[in-house]
Amino acid sequence: MFKSTLKKKSSINIIPMVDVIFFLLVFFMLFTTFRTNPQGIDMQLPTAVTATDQSETNFIVEIDADGSYYFEGETLTLAQIISEAELRNQDNEGQLTIIISADKETRYDNVVALIDQMRDAGIYRLALAAEKDGS
């Protein structure tokens, strides 16, 4: 018959909220420090003011600082890359563009050898990759 006039005081339990905020903080700290490029090869491209964006369908050959050749993230020999480029060039009716993405620390010999082999295989559309200089 008589109702209690004492109301229970509501309170917000903040401990689970602190746990969630701490988890988010750690998550963003960890995953913003990992910087990788799509193929996972650590490349330091030279910069150029006149660099232009290229199509993703081009044949991109990467050369790291040690002189190893990569195509689509796999380490290949120069002969394997040339034969793959020849096949792709035939599929594209001779209109394939080879983009050479060489690390700025690689030897010039590695780049020249790749260009020479590509031209010897009948592929003349060659481009050098560079990062756009923002200054």
Q: What is the pTM of this model?
A: 0.57
Which backbone phi and psi does 119 adopt, to 5 degrees?
-70, -35
The stretch 10-34 carries a mean pLDDT of 82
Task: Kindly tell me the sign of the dihedral angle through the C-alpha atoms of 108, 114, 118, 123.
Answer: negative
> Any long-range contacts for 78-81 (C-beta under 8 Å, 24+ apart)?
78/113, 78/114, 78/117, 81/114
Where do the structural domains in the chain lie, given as residue ranges? 47-132
List pLDDT tens digits, range 39-60: 445 555 566 555 555 554 578 8
The torsion region of residue 25 among left (phi > 0), alpha (psi -120 to 50) and beta comes to alpha
Fold of 47-132: Nucleotidyltransferase; domain 5 (3.30.420)
Measured in Å, how far apart are the chain's first and last C-alpha atoms? 81
| pLDDT tens-place string over residues 63-118 | 998 889 998 888 899 999 999 999 988 888 878 888 888 888 888 899 899 988 88
